Amino acid sequence: MRLSELQVGDKAEVTGLNVDAAIRRRIMDMGLIKGTRFKVLRVAPLGDPMEIFFKGLYLTMRKSEADGIMVERSGGVGDGMPMHTGARRRYGFGGGR
């Protein structure tokens, strides 16, 4: 699934970056790499740039950039799934922080 296909409120995890080399570098520099979990916060009033939130950072990007970011959707609004940004703990029970 592509980031641009997510709905507002969706939570997801990045699985791959299929974008231009230069823009991929910028996206990675921002900390959006494989395995990063984020939440789609909103779409701009005119429908184009979208805003996502991860690791305490509010990042905006155009849909054309979001098109190249492959993601796996992990939850929607208010489903209680944590948008944890640490190491993956999907299969962990308790333990760790």
Q: What residue ranges bind other proteins (CB under 8 A)?
A: 17, 20-31, 33-35, 42-49, 51, 55-62, 64-65, 86-87, 97
Task: Measure the CA–CA gap between 8 and 91, rounded to whole angstroms.
Answer: 26
Nearer to other proteins, 21 or 91 (CB): 21
Nearer to other proteins, 43 or 76 (CB): 43
Minimal CA–CA distance to 38: which of 67, 60, 64? 60
Return the bridge partners of 39, or none: 11, 53
Phi, psi of 7 (to 5 degrees): -95, 160
Nearer to other proteins, 73 or 83 (CB): 83
CB of 7 to other proteins, least distance (A): 13
CB of 5 to other proteins, least distance (A): 18
CB of 96 to other proteins, least distance (A): 9
Alpha-helical segments (H) within the chain: 21-29, 63-66
